[in-house]
């Protein structure tokens, strides 16, 4: 039979074991607070989700929808309960499915995966396709991804507005093209001996810009400035252009004012690029020996440096009142000898590559009119 001391000791051990199994009042209180906080957050999420005009769904790790807010009925024609238990992928357009699946897999496999944004199409209950902007992120609990929350915003209206803006932009570009061509023809009537010069220069300048990996928009800038670069010649007496002998110093000074005159005519036109400045600078040279401002190197627009090379090459290889057309080799030799001195080295390299490696040649000037990059 156990003595009194042994009985007391056993009771103390049993009490200690029980106390270890039961949470302390502080632990129990913290657990209760955590559960209350979670309940409040769930209520807040549900309240926000159910009032949202965007579709909000929760998808578990197997890709099954576990929650859908009421907006899904207004936007896609389904009641929320119709979608719960269904696959989150079955209404996605086939062309978008692979990408969206990859996004989903990344979210469920990495608790630190960033928020994912994408554009996709979902099929309405009536079978039509609607375009949405989707924002997805994972919901993590105890370092485990429990589900993925996706917000779908219908952007059909925005897409329509974008299409209308593009249509307006194209219409404006077409109008600008006609205006620029009309301006170019003014110079052609003023100086018949250089008919087609501006068009051929613009064709070569655009080709050089393309060779230098300019964007389509920037190529359009080069083309526009090039095709009207001699507009200022309207301010120069016509007889100077047709003179079959060498120009006098005074006559050459009159010719030189055409760059400034062209700038003065164009500077107040609201082009999408600084066209007037490039026209002003197309006779500037890298060493500062050009006109009218004696600019050097980077102070000259790159587009003007391209125009300068194209202008020289075309002018030397075309007929003039005072001389026949020269072989293209003479023009290429000119820019090669003065590469980095008068002309931008990179521009010269691009121009030489066009002629020597890619068999570039000037088209007939009537054909160039159809080559505008709009």
Segment 66-85, tens digit of pLDDT: 999 999 999 999 999 999 99
Kindly report whether the peptide bond that precedes residue 292 is cis, defined as omega within 30 degrees of 0: yes
- Does residue 8 carry a pLDDT above 50? no
- What are the angstrom distances between the C-alpha of 8 and each of 2, 14, 171? 10, 10, 99
- Does residue 318 carry a pLDDT above 80? yes
Confidence at residue 374, expressed as pLDDT on a 0 to 100 scale:
39
In order, the DSSP letters of 149-189 are EEEEEE-HHHHHHHHHHHHHHHHHHHHHHHHHHHHHHHHHH
Tell me the pLDDT tens digit for each residue of 189-218: 766 666 688 889 999 999 999 999 999 999
What domains sit in the chain, N to C, each tagged with a CATH number? 52-154 (3.30.450.20), 159-368 (1.10.3210.10)
- Does residue 370 carry a pLDDT above 50? no
Tell me the pLDDT tens digit for each residue of 109-152: 999 999 999 999 999 999 999 999 999 999 988 889 999 999 99
Q: What mean pLDDT do residues 350-356 have? A: 96
Residue 116 contacts residue 103 (beta carbons within 8 Å) = yes
- Does residue 367 carry a pLDDT above 60? no
Tell me the pLDDT tens digit for each residue of 249-303: 888 888 889 999 999 999 988 888 999 999 999 999 999 999 999 999 999 999 9
Confidence at residue 248, expressed as pLDDT on a 0 to 100 scale:
77
Q: What mean pLDDT do residues 352-358 have? A: 95
Confidence at residue 368, expressed as pLDDT on a 0 to 100 scale:
47
Question: Model's pTM, two decimal places?
Answer: 0.58
Residue 48 contacts residue 25 (beta carbons within 8 Å) = no
């Amino acid at each position: 039979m156990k003595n009194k001391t042994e009985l007391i000791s056993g009771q103390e051990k049993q009490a200690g074991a029980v106390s270890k199994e039961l949470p302390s009042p502080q632990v129990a209180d913290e657990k209760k607070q955590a559960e209350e906080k979670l309940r409040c957050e769930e209520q807040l999420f549900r309240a926000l989700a159910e009032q949202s005009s965007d579709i909000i769904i929760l998808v578990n790790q197997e890709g099954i929808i576990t929650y859908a807010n009421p907006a899904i009925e207004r936007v896609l024609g389904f009641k929320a309960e119709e979608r719960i238990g269904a696959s989150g992928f079955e209404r996605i357009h086939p062309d978008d499915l692979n990408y969206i699946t990859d996004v989903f897999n990344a979210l469920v496999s990495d608790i630190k995966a960033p928020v994912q944004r994408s554009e996709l199409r979902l099929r309405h209950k009536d079978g039509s396709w609607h375009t949405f902007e989707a924002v997805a992120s994972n919901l993590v609990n105890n370092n485990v991804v429990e589900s993925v929350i996706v917000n779908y915003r219908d952007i059909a209206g925005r897409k329509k507005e974008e299409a209308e803006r593009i249509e307006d932009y194209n219409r404006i570009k077409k109008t600008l093209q006609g205006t620029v061509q009309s301006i170019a023809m003014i110079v052609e009537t003023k100086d018949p001996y250089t008919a087609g010069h501006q068009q051929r220069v613009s064709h070569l300048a655009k080709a050089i810009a393309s060779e230098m990996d300019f964007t389509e928009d920037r190529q359009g800038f080069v083309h526009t400035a090039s095709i009207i670069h001699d507009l200022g010649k309207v301010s120069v007496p016509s007889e100077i252009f047709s003179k079959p002998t060498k120009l006098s110093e005074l006559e050459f000074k009159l010719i030189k004012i055409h760059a400034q005159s062209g700038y003065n005519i164009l500077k107040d036109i609201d082009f999408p690029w600084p066209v007037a400045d490039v026209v002003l600078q197309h006779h500037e040279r890298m060493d500062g020996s050009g006109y009218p401002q004696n600019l050097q190197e980077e102070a000259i627009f790159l587009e003007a440096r391209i125009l300068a090379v194209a202008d020289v090459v075309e002018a030397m290889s075309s007929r003039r009142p005072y001389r026949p057309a020269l072989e293209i080799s003479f023009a290429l030799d000119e820019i090669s000898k003065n590469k980095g001195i008068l002309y931008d080295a990179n521009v010269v390299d691009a121009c030489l590559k066009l002629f020597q490696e890619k068999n570039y040649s000037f088209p007939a000037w009537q054909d160039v009119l159809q080559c505008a990059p709009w």
